[in-house]
Amino acid sequence: MKNRKVFQDLSQLSRFAAEQFITIGKRSIKSNGRFNVALAGGTTPKNLYQLLASEDFKIRIDWEKVFFFFGDERDVSPMSDRSNFRMVNENMLKTLKIPQSNIIRWRTEIIDAAGVAVAYEKTLRTYFELEEGQFPRFDLFLLGMGADGHTASLFPQSGALAESKRIAVSIFVEKLDANRLTLTFPVINNSSNVLFLVAGESKAEALMEVLEGDSNPDKYPSQKVKPTQGKIIWAFDKDAGSLLKKK
Ligand code: 6PG
């Protein structure tokens, strides 16, 4: 199927994602003078970030015109080993010497999670020069998917799944016994390009349910990712795609 790409392994998946990043980025810079990308956290995209900072890719785009945002974040210090910002910084931003002004992260040093979300929403409204009721439009929104079908920090049965007005929210996630910070589906679905990166056997069941199962977005929140005026590509390795009927 045209919006599905299967790869032998994580390394090939990551190389494809890196090529997509460069292609979409250069096109965005050419037409708008900059590339606004929302990054995924977790472990799957680590390899992608390392690739983008490698000799093969680092010379292929004008990094000064790339602006990095985070689709979601844990409610921890940016120095914490659980921080998505720290993971991205250590695997890519530091190596590429990205200027601080090009990194727009959740300011989790603000004490309460709700305050972090309000601050991030304000930052995005200002950056994208939004009118009331408008949402940011990312050139590329990178997403991962959990074995439970969550994406960003939009987890099954969460109240955040129905959020239709806010850009950024904080939610307490029972199963993690922790607060999470996440951009909402109206933002994700306003993107020009959404690229899901899914790897590993543990994701096979959820991926089959999300892509080929009955509609049940409260149980499988990744089903709600349907860009209204944008492209979506599901890139996965053969293990994650092992239960799909249609490749
Ligand atoms: C996070 C991510 C989250 C992640 C999925 C998959 O903060 O952890 O944003 O949505 O993409 O949980 O995580 P893995 O790539 O580690 O399997």
139-148 pLDDT, tens per residue? 999 999 999 9
Q: Considering only CA atoms, which residue is closest to atom 13 of ligand 1?
A: 42
Does ligand 1 come within 6 angstroms of the Cβ of 221? Answer: no
pLDDT range class, residue 157, cuts 50, 70, 90: very high
Place of tokens 């785009």: 61
Question: Which atom of ligand 1 is least distant from the CA of 198?
Answer: 15
Probe target for ligand 1 pocket from 10, 13, 43, 70, with the most ligand atoms within 8 Å of CB = 43
Q: Considering only CA atoms, which residue is closest to atom 10 of ligand 1?
A: 152
Contacts for 126-134 with beta carbons within 8 Å, 24 or more apart? 127/67, 128/36, 133/165
Q: Considering only CA atoms, which residue is closest to atom 12 of ligand 1?
A: 146
Residues 71-126: pLDDT tens digits? 999 999 999 999 999 999 999 999 999 999 999 999 999 989 999 999 999 999 99
Probe target for ligand 1 pocket from 13, 83, 108, 153, with the most ligand atoms within 8 Å of CB = 153
Does ligand 1 come within 6 angstroms of the Cβ of 241? Answer: no
Cα distance between residue 214 and residue 104, in whole Å: 37
**Mean pLDDT taken over the chain:** 97
Does ligand 1 come within 6 angstroms of the Cβ of 14? Answer: no
pLDDT of residue 246: 84
Probe target for ligand 1 pocket from 145, 179, 222, 237, with the most ligand atoms within 8 Å of CB = 145
Residues 66-81: pLDDT tens digits? 999 999 999 999 999 9
The pTM assigned to this predicted structure is 0.98
Structure tokens at 189: 């679905």
pLDDT of residue 18: 98
Nearest to 198 by CA among 129, 151, 158: 151
Phi, psi (rounded to 5 degrees) for 142: -85, 135
Dist. CA 197 → ligand 1 center (Å): 10
Residues 219-242: pLDDT tens digits? 999 999 999 999 999 999 999 999
